[in-house]
């Protein structure tokens, strides 16, 4: 069953989503990110460098969320089970479901597997972009 929540509810620890494996982070029609995890709420925290699924600290989505606080707290996080994606998208496994969601939603911040990312509207702050660029140059 599709479940909708917010960045704020996830950060406050109010979201439990057993069985959900995929997630979309969006603000209205603007889709920022599509991802998969065994625990999507914890992985969203991980993008911000928090919790057990941080994988080395804050990433592109995490910087983007921080840049756009406090407004980003109200952004929607949509959680899907594999069964949701099988019914709506015809996906056969989690990797296929993630790719089909990326193809459909064109998230602005997904790099891998995203042939046509949507542009980020000018109203959003993007200071993270310069930091990521500098890391890649120095890296």
Determine the Cα–Cα distance for residues 13 and 33; give it in Å rounded to an integer: 20
More confident position, 37 or 54: 37
Sequence-ordered strand ranges (E) for 1-135: 3-6, 20-27, 30-36, 76-81
Angle at 77 between CA 98 and CA 31, to 5 degrees: 65
pLDDT of residue 87: 86
Determine the Cα–Cα distance for residues 75 and 125; give it in Å rounded to an integer: 14
Mean pLDDT in residue range 15-43: 96
In this structure, are residues 75 and 27 in contact, taking their beta carbons and an 8 Å threshold? yes
Determine the Cα–Cα distance for residues 22 and 95; give it in Å rounded to an integer: 9
User: How much of the chain, in percent, has pLDDT values that exceed 90?
Assistant: 73
Q: Is 80 exceeded by the pLDDT of residue 103? A: yes
For the chain, what is the radius of gyration of the CA atoms?
Answer: 14
pLDDT of residue 129: 61
């Amino acid at each position: 069953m599709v479940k909708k929540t917010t960045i704020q509810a996830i950060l406050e620890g109010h979201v439990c989503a057993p069985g959900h494996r995929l997630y979309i982070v969006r603000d209205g029609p603007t889709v920022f990110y599509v991802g998969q995890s065994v625990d999507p709420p914890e992985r969203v925290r991980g993008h911000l460098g928090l919790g057990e699924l941080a994988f080395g600290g804050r990433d592109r989505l995490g910087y983007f969320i921080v840049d756009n606080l406090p407004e980003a707290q109200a952004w929607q996080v949509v959680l899907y089970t594999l069964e949701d994606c099988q019914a709506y998208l015809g996906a056969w496994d989690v990797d296929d479901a993630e790719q089909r969601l990326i193809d459909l939603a064109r998230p602005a911040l997904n790099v891998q597997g995203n042939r046509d990312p949507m542009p980020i509207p000018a109203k959003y702050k993007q200071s993270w972009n310069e930091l990521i660029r500098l890391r890649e140059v120095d890296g």
